[in-house]
Structure 1
Amino acid sequence: MSTQETNGGSSSGVLLNTNKEKGKPGRKRGPVWIHFNDIGTKKEGHIGCKCMYCGWTQTRGEPAQMQAHLALSCSKVPSTIKIEYLLLIKQNAEEQVTNSTSTVSKKRCVNLSQTRIDKFYESDQIDSTKQVLCDKAVAKFFVCCGVAFHLVSHPFFIDMVKSLCNGYEPPCSTTLSNTLMNNELTKITVDQQLTLDKESDLTLGFDGWTSLRGKGLHPMVFRDVCLNAMKLLKNMGGGENSCSELVAQIRAFTQYEKPYDLEYVLGIDNVFLWWRLCNPVRPEEHYIQQLAMKILSITPHNAGCERVFSIIG
């Protein structure tokens, strides 16, 4: 063997060793890491992450949670990036269902008239398609019925599920509250965005009369304000008639009626002049002024705690 061949072989071996040393072990990072900074030390092959836009942190950077943060939670991420990851999460969820369906379809066809073996005993396994459908049904039940997510791991709930379908494995609370919820939220958000993109000349409106529970918003808020105002005025020494007059003044103020219909000019008027002009009554009847001064006298520091508690009662 010549000297050149020996040198060539040794040099190529050095290059291979150098490339191996430069290469980082483990799975390559996904593109989602572009939007996050590394924090902390690497433990068990994982390292913490911090969002470059809002400062959200995670002690163990998980790509699925990072994608969900950019798509659903981050309030400062650019809209283009938000839409990109919304579509990505929706696509991944759809591919999961498609892959599970194709896996079942690849199995050999069975004659419908042939008796199935699972007719005589209940199988302890179900196909992936049914698993996905059951997971969605469980997520819908917990969300729509307002059930706490941690109850999915309760022994009684698992016993009930197993009695209905022995082969179904319910998700853990983390999977239910993170993965399944993120997939459904992403799907709804993307569908709404696609629907809005097709529309034109939209007007944003606000229904201020009913809440999700069917209760009025504006009447309930106004009632709470009046009750609290009457309570504070009573603590200040006001009587029943004074409380009634205060509620009447608040009602007139919210309806922009006289004497609260005067315009306020920036740069010329000030709050005190406008307020005095709106209340041409005797000083002892300035209920709204007294109430406002009493509320403003509540201080957040420790020295005023005793006074705060005495006012609120």
Structure 2
Amino acid sequence: MAINLEVSPILGKQKSKFSAFCKYCKITWKRGEISKLEKHLSNHCKNASATIVRKYMSKILERQDKVTKKRKLSSGQQYMDNYHDSTDLFDARITRINRALIKFFVSCGISFRIVEHPFFINFIKELNGGYDPPTREMLARTGTSISE
């Protein structure tokens, strides 16, 4: 198994059930389902390295993308555009959003690298599908010129 968890069969009457425990924090599960174990490594394990957390966050996001691509719209189902603003934004609006983003990152001590994280990109797209977050390099260049 590629997951960094120990998985072993449960002894007893029930067949094809597995117990599991995390190699990093030693949490155990009576029933070790792969998706639950991946969620643990991506969100809850405090001892997993940043590389492991990122790896399993990406796996979860990829799986979510595959599921949504397979779903078909039924005739009565609403479109996402009915609920989310996905129109193109004016340059002045993008500049104001970027400036607010820089102020937030700097005042809270958050690394500009976060703008490249899949969960952050997903969050921004949920807020407004028409906004493309800037690169971390662009944020760093612009951040040095903001004197407000």
User: TM-score normalised to the size of structure 1?
Assistant: 0.25
If you compute each CA radius of gyration, which structure gives the higher value, 1 or 2?
1
* Structure (1 or 2) with the greater helix fraction: 1
- Higher relative CO (CA 8 A, sep ≥ 6), structure 1 or 2? 2
